[in-house]
Chain A
Amino acid sequence: MIEYEPVIGMEVHAELLTESKMFCGCKVAFGGEPNTRCCPVCLGLPGSLPVINRRAVEFVVRTALALNCKINQNSIFHRKNYFYPDLPKGYQISQYGDTPIGVNGYVEITVNGVTKRIGIRRVHLEEDTGKLFHVEGDLSQIDYNRSGVPLMEIVTEHDPSAGFDQINSADEAREYLVQLRAILMYLGVSDGKMEEGSLRCEPNVSVRPKGSDTFGTRTEIKNLNSFRAVHSGLLYEIERHKKALARGEKIVHETRRWDDVRGRTAPMRGKELEQEYRYFPEPDLPPLSFDPDWIEEQRRSLPELPQQKRKRYIEEYGLSETDASVITASRALAEFYEAAASSYRDPKIVANWVMGDFLRLLNAADIEADESKLKPEMLVDMLRLVDDGTISGKIAKTVFAEMFQTGKPPREIVEGSGLVQITDESEIEAVVQQVIDENPNEVERYRGGKKELLGFFVGQVMRLTKGKANPGMVNKLLKEKLGA
């Protein structure tokens, strides 16, 4: 039986976090009243002309550098011509051909212990379209607020002659996307929100017999609005290709839409089919021309990127590869971690809190670490309260949740709500005695050799003290009173 291998290409679009649009001064923001953030330029009114947003160019140059790309010293814009109601000029200003801003870079990923350098073919700059809404019956409405928002396109290279690795599985594709998203967010060029559509991913996939050096026919997948959807969509499509090939069927080159509810892809109709875009250089814009010194300045001022941070955390804080990956996936989370870890005796304990309770609470609240009321020094203070026995580890979880909700410092929470650990031996001893007195049967069985019942007695003491008794003292006193 033939073994098959998928080859996956990833096309990612990221809306840039610039103040204003790509070719005019209109504000960039999500949502809002329709058609309130537009002007003659982004509405494509007759006679209007585009002016390049310098900041957007800078963002793309910085991204391309972070993705290890070569920067084309001269880069030009093109017109991509097609008709659609959300495209007010009848063309999109984009970059086509050999001179996008960045070419020939890579992103490093590690999946199941295997590290690959995924090739990046191009990083280019273009403008977003408006949004078309089908209201009721035959009626459609268009919101041009998004029209002209700067959009960066990042395309992977699957030709091995470029010197880099391909993506060969859905897991690798997802990891590529995770790493790419992290880089974009570290650079502050994208908010990375796939659900809102500010980060969009359109993968293509082909399958071939393993070892073959030609590619199979590829299909493109659209409507993937989360990491999970990208992963599931690719798994589905790879299987579909494999089964078809095994049956001797031909794959049709087409764009397919992922149906998240039914968990399958289906061919798209109409305008999504092959298009003739009639690209040509945009005559309204002069070519971009970069000063090499300026490019070097951008390179020097790049922040520490996730991969570098991950390696450093493994070395400096002794974290595992997995833990370091989770923590560095977000720049804000990594900065939170580092602020706490660098001022506490055990960075691994900090890591457990950050990856556990903190990340869970952040996800539930749908916020980033730097938007949280809980600050790194509060975590450190709390850990010290555990260390000096003021609170138990169990109580710490309650304190942590309350810090997250209220932003109050841990000592205030502990003192204000009587969560301070009971360390008074006589007080605990009284409760221990009460538990022994109330459970004569269990005491007899324990003394008869069922030592695992100790946990039961500890639980009873903790219940009566609402978890505040010092667990070490409870254990010690129980053993003393119950006898060996």
Chain B
Amino acid sequence: MAENELCKLTAHEIAFLVRSKQVTCREVAEAFLGRVSSLDEKVRAYVTITEDLALSQSDALDKKIASGDELPPLAGVPWAIKDNMCTRGVLTTCSSKILYNYKPVYDATVVRKVVESGGIIIGKTNLDEFAMGSSTENSAFFTTRNPWDLDRVPGGSSGGSAAAVAADLAALALGSDTGGSIRQPAAFCGVVGMKPTYGRVSRYGLIAFASSLDQIGPFAKDVTDCALAMSVISGRDPMDSTSLDVPVPDYTKSLVPDVKGIKIGVPVEFFAQGVSPEIVELVWRAVEAFSVLGAEYKETSMPMVDYGLATYYIIAPAECSSNLARYDGVRYGLRSSDSPDPLTMFRKTREEGFGPEVKQRIMAGTYALSAGYYDAYYLKAQKVRTLIRQDFDKLFEEFDVLITPTTPTAAFKIGERTGDPFAMKLNDVCTIPASMAGIPAISVPCGFADGLPVGMQIMGKPLDEATIMRVAFAFEQATTFHKQKPKL
């Protein structure tokens, strides 16, 4: 099979070819590494390409196949890993200067699980520095390009992972989502992206941005791959006290193209906040399609959504100001030279090592936690967060899933919003509520606006990823948006 055709396959197709010995893992790895070396100059999805690792992993798997050993479920599937997840002995940058030359001594739990499932790691992908941003323009290294239009952003913060999957530079990718960092780039790049329930996937080894919101999830070319990836990465981890001790279902079993009797809520507030008319139109068309497939839908309301963005921009910076305190130059990463005392060294290291967006959030968060302001900001925000969660609880008494746009607009041009931080942050207005409530949500392709992909968000009850994926799968079976590829 031609190299590029192999790369265009889904993960489950590749796994089948490997299992049935039609290709070797080495052939798969070489095909993807070849495509990366010829195409990633344009897309710039990867910060680090782990060629040696990918080849040794694929050789080890091929040996197993040759000796007839039992194969792990996704043997030979090439993955891309967002560069805020620890990989032992492999540079892990968070796209920040402050982690200069940092090689973790351990693998994140998700990375270990990916490897145990037979995954081949192609490389580490670009992100907005410490996952703070919506475009990868905050990366300290470079901006990743949207494969559908190289002048546009791929979204963020997991823009590298989304672009890698969209450009067939990996079959699956891991991202992390704090306020939309998986769903928004998935929508911009025309792929499937899921943020699981908070606690569904271990955060051990994910370099923290905002601990109470961060959650790892997959990027995939279709919902089947998403379900496979979710089965690999989910589950209780004794190393993460916030991971949930609930058995992981086989998510592929829930993929039946049947939504008869499913109750869909359409909260109108999500269609109001500056959402472009084309996107409103496409999402409504999708909702109508579900109606044809036998689901019921109803317009509904979620008044607290209006406070989501404001609340998020207190809680996330507050936690980030504390989580990023450890980058002081003492133990690893960048250290500013020639300081007369430790505190000056800390200050200079952080001054040189962090980019402007990260500094701005650290300052905002420090302020929100300060004595005298804590009650007015952080505590109040936590209370609003509870109200948002209660809003969702109420809606889920009536509905199985909620459907909204993933983003107000399609991918914007590089540089278009860097001068307007507020417009940049409005990008997350539809995705933040699910993050605040800790509920699962997926973004799936639902059409194109001016040739750019548009995503539909499906939110579900806590731990009910299965229903979300079933609904998404039914839509995918009835449409062809996910099959379209960018021309590179």
Contacts and interface: CB of A to CB of B under 8 A. Distances in A.
Are these two chains actual partners, yes or no?
yes
Contacts of B99: 46
A51 interface: yes
Contacts of A142: 330
Contacts of A245: none
Interface stretch (A191-199, A275-283, A320-328, A400-408): A275-283
Interface in B290-340: 318-319, 321-322, 324-328, 330-332
Interface string B233-248: 0000011111000000
Contacts of B94: 46
B322 A90 contact: yes
Interface string A352-370: 0000000000000000000
Contacts of B212: 283
A45 B108 CA distance: 12
Nearest to B210: A283
Contacts of B252: none
Interface stretch (A77-85, A156-164, A388-396, A475-483): A77-85
A45 B240 CA distance: 14
B241 A45 contact: no
A40 B106 contact: yes
A271 B346 CA distance: 14
Nearest to A51: B241
A472 interface: no
Interface string A35-54: 00000100111111111100
A140 B330 CA distance: 11
B332 to A, nearest CB: 7
B325 A90 contact: yes
A284 B370 contact: no
B322 A46 contact: no
Contacts of A45: 104-106, 331-332
Contacts of B342: 84-85, 140
A52 B108 contact: no
Interface stretch (B1-9, B136-144, B201-209, B222-230): B201-209
B231 interface: no
A89 interface: yes
Contacts of A91: 322, 325
Given A46-B102, A47-B86, A81-B325, A284 B241 contact: yes
B242 A85 contact: no
Nearest to B315: A283
B211 interface: yes
A389 to B, nearest CB: 67
A285 interface: yes
Nearest to B204: A49
A52 B331 CA distance: 24
Chain A contact residues: helix, strand, loop or mixed: loop
A52 B92 CA distance: 27
A280 B322 contact: yes
B378 interface: yes
Nearest to B325: A90
Interface residues of B, number: 45
A347 interface: no
Nearest to B106: A40
A47 B239 contact: no
A220 to B, nearest CB: 19
B326 A88 contact: yes
A422 to B, nearest CB: 72
A303 interface: no
B36 to A, nearest CB: 25
B370 A44 contact: no
Given A40-B106, A89-B325, A90-B322, A83 B239 contact: no
B371 interface: yes
B241 A46 contact: no
Nearest to A50: B241
B31 interface: no
Nearest to A90: B325
A88 B241 CA distance: 20
A43 B331 contact: yes
Interface in B116-139: none
Contacts of B105: 40, 45
Contacts of B343: 83, 271
Contacts of B326: 44, 46, 88-90
A318 interface: no
A47 B204 contact: yes
A46 B325 contact: no
Given A89-B325, A278-B369, A46 B207 contact: yes
Interface in A76-130: 79, 81, 83-85, 88-91
A286 interface: yes
B85 interface: yes
Contacts of B242: 49, 283-286
A283 B211 contact: yes
Interface of A: 40, 43-52, 79, 81, 83-85, 88-91, 140, 142, 271, 276, 278-280, 283-286
Given A140-B342, A280-B369, A283-B210, 15 more contacts: A40-B104, A40-B105, A45-B106, A46-B86, A46-B94, A47-B203, A47-B205, A49-B203, A81-B325, A84-B342, A85-B330, A90-B324, A276-B370, A280-B374, A283-B212
A-B interface, 6 closest residue pairs, ranked by CB to CB distance from nearest: A90-B325, A278-B369, A283-B211, A283-B212, A47-B205, A46-B207
Interface of B: 85-86, 92, 94, 99, 102, 104-106, 108, 203-208, 210-212, 238-242, 318-319, 321-322, 324-328, 330-332, 342-343, 346, 366, 369-371, 374, 378
